[in-house]
Structure 1
Amino acid sequence: MSYVGPEFDPSQPPRRSIGRPLTVAVAALVPTCLAGWLVYQATSGPGGEGPARSLPASPSASAGSDRPSASSSSSPSGSDEPGEDKGDEKDEDDKGGKGRGDDDNDSTTKPPAGRPAASGPLKGKVVVIDPGHNAGNFRHATEINRLVDIGTNRKECDTTGTSTNDGYTEAKFTLDVSRRLRTLLQAQGATVTLTQDGDRPWGPCVDERARIGNKAHADAVVSVHADGSGAGNRGFHVIMPAKVRSGGADTSGIVAPSKELGERIAGNFVSATGSRPSNYIGKGTGLDTRSDLGGLNLSTVPKVFIECGNMRDAKDAARLTSGAWRQKAAQGISEGIAGFLRG
């Protein structure tokens, strides 16, 4: 773009002198301009629209972002997270919306963690919520591919997780649901810890996720996930620990309470979300038992995983990307946890 300044003003034709009439006209305008300037100064106080004043930044403009900064070019969209929303399209209802999780309290904006209510039915209870994967994992292949001991064998530290066909990531989904879940449990007086809150560039590894729950002496731990199975495979399922005694793993003390926790979550999840149990895992019960997950094998406190739906199925994906449905999912999980903790 070229600059047009005083030195580049086009030349003007010579002007004829108009003598005294111009002098008189200028003299008459001076008092008028002075009066106008005084009025402007008097009316352009705080909140006025004077050109030299700037408006204060809105709260949303000053809010921090929980996303790690881009450190490599491996992201498919430059500095953006995979599946990051750039529009302001609102989600539709839980029957399926056009949005990709771009509603309020999504993982692009970090809500305050809050504190447990002063009193409530869960006062004194400790819950650890484990948001599966991490939005930054894809930038840290070396770190997450490192093998860790899960008792029965060695597995990758973590994975990137799956996504819907239009790019809404599992990591984004799990963090959003976990934050909603934390809010619901804290309102009932529970002390809630997240294994990660968008506050680290990758991970944690599966063994560290288990240690966080163990160290907190949690009364219940729930790891939030979404599946990445084939189209047509629909529904949720809850994964419970099998009995494992190998190496550093010994689940013998948590198998029974974890099963009760899983059953309560499954029942309440159906009621809150209207989702059906998985049609491809669990034989219609919505329950599955596994011995190959480090997060379960290394836990010493009651713990389950929940796969809230299949991101690769269009009908399930329509629910998972709906903010209204994610709130229902959090509600169902929280009611299951509360029922378990109340006994």
Structure 2
Amino acid sequence: MSYAGPEFEPPRRPRRRPLTVALAALVPGALLGWVVYEGLGSATDDGRGGPESAAVRTPSATGDAKEPGPSPTEPATSAPAAAPGGPGALKGKVVVIDPGHNPANFRHTAEINAKVNIGTGYKECDTTGTATNSGYTEAEFTLDVAHRMRTLLEKQGATVRLTQDGDRSYGPCIDERARIGNQAEADAVVSVHADGSGSGNRGFHVILPGAVNSGAADTRPIVGASRDLGERIAGRFVRATGSTPSNYVGDGTGLVTRKDLGGLNLSTVPKVFIECGNMRDTKDAAQLTSGAWRQKAAQGISEGIVSFLRG
């Protein structure tokens, strides 16, 4: 996600709460540590190149050296241990996974450029998303991680629904993505993305809904629960992947609050976005294109959801 553009609301530093310290592994030359928020909150990406813009991200010919593409031999089920809780732990719970974008969006520019109401104004239906320099698209990434998450969460007994499963010619639009979670009366919704920022910008961040009360949007009832969900996902994501929070947004917390994303504004159930890394940075891209790493990402996000749903 690019944060340039007139509609961008700068990330707010979240109010500090009791913290859980998660120390990353010792790597040559540095000890990386991170204080992560987990489960004590009180209370993404709809766009690229400016929030929810429809611009296509074209890899720069003069950009970073090309990273390896994804290996087709890495199965979606080659996993670490399943998310904690055991079979049946999430029986009766409904989780909606929202894989960002759609691989065929670029063929439907008129449709994805059509404006929809997000409560605070109008935004494009959807965007093409970004891609690594080697051409691995965000839409491919998000759907793969979503499939891995579905497998893990269904093993816990959850009912899992995807907003799209490669079964649509484009979209769905951001308002419909929110509506799918609302109509399912989901206990949690997570929108999976990967960012398209500049080279050298690294790490993940979780996007939380800000308090919006405008037109069709009223996020006030879900702000607290969404923060709790997001904090738990951030903590488990670090633990599962070894990734560090974004070095370019979120002030090192891995958490960003926004009010300009239709997928959050129109949600009536707890929902967050996660940007799993920056596809335009070669080091992050090497992780994002790895099936083994994507399994870890799915594990971390799923564990955060399980922690949230079990309280």
Q: Distance in 1 between matches of 2:294 and 2:96?
A: 19
Judge conservation of contact 1:237–1:266 (CA < 8 Å) in 2. yes
2:91 equivalent to 1:102: no
Inter-partner Cα distance in structure 2 for 1:270 and 1:104? 22
Report the 3-state secondary structure (helix = DSSP H, G, I; strand = E; otherwise coil) of the residue aligned with 2:226. Answer: helix
User: Quick check: 1:224 aligned with 2:192?
Assistant: yes
What amino acid does structure 2 have at the position aligned with 1:330?
Answer: A
Match of 1:172 in 2: 140
| SS of equivalent to 1:254 | helix
Larger radius of gyration: 1
What is the CA–CA distance in structure 1 between the aligned matches of 2:255 and 2:181, rounded to whole Å? 22
- Return the match for 1:323 from 291, 306, 310: 291
TM-aligned CA distance change 1:122 to 1:158, over 3 Å = same
What secondary structure sits across from 1:253 in the alignment? helix
Equivalent runs, 1:81-230 vs 2, <5 Å: 98-105=68-75, 119-230=87-198
The match for 1:294 is 262
Mapped contact 2:206–2:273 kept (Cα < 8 A): yes
SS at match of 1:130: strand
Q: Which residue in 1 is equivalent to 2:227?
A: 259
Q: How many residues were matched structurally?
A: 240
Residue in structure 2 matching 1:233, options 193, 196, 201: 201
Q: CA deviation at 1:237?
A: 0.1
- Cα distance in 1 between the residues matched to 2:225 and 2:131: 31
Q: Give 1:285's aligned residue.
A: 253
- Aligned residue for 1:41? none
| 1:15-47 Cα distance to aligned partner (Å, 9 max, x none) | xxxxxxxxxxxxxxxxxxxxxxxxxxxxxxxxx
User: 1:115: which partner in 2?
Assistant: none
SS in 1 for 2:96: strand
Structure with the larger strand share: 2
- Residue 11 of structure 1 is matched in structure 2 by none
In the other structure, the counterpart of 1:49 is none
CA distance in 2, matches of 1:145, 1:101: 33
> Once the two structures are superposed, what CA deviation does each residue of 1:68-111 show, in whole Å capped at 9, x if it has no partner?
xxxxxxxxxxxxxx99xxxxxxxxxxxx98333534457xxxxx
Q: TM-score, normalised on structure 2?
A: 0.75
1:98 corresponds to which letter in structure 2?
P
Structure 1 pair 242/233, CA: closer, same or farther in 2 (3 Å)?
A: same
Unaligned stretches of 5+ residues in structure 1 = 1-81, 84-95, 107-117
Deviation at 1:336, TM superposition (A): 0.2
CA distance in 1, matches of 2:279, 2:308: 28
Deviations 1:135-163 (A, max 9, x none): 00000000000000000010000000000
Amino acid at match of 1:273: T
RMSD: 1.9
Provide, for residues 164-184 of structure 1, a one-character-per-residue CA deviation record: whole Å limited to 9, x for no partner.
Answer: 011000000000000000000
Please tell me the residue identity of whatever aligns with 2:180: I
Query: Match of 1:301, as an amino acid?
Result: V
Distance 1:103 1:174, change over 3 A: farther
- Contact kept in structure 2, 1:101 and 1:168, CA below 8 Å: no
The percentage of counterpart residues that share the same residue type is 74
- Letter of the structure 2 residue corresponding to residue 239 of structure 1: I
Q: Is residue 68–residue 134 contact of structure 2 (8 Å, CA) maintained in 1?
A: no
CA distance in 1, matches of 2:148, 2:113: 30
Gaps of at least 5 residues in structure 2 are 1-57, 60-65, 77-85
1:245 to 213, 216, 231: 213
C-alpha distance in 2 between matches for 1:271 and 1:104: 22
Using CA pairs below 8 Å that are at least 6 residues apart, which structure has the higher relative contact order?
A: 2
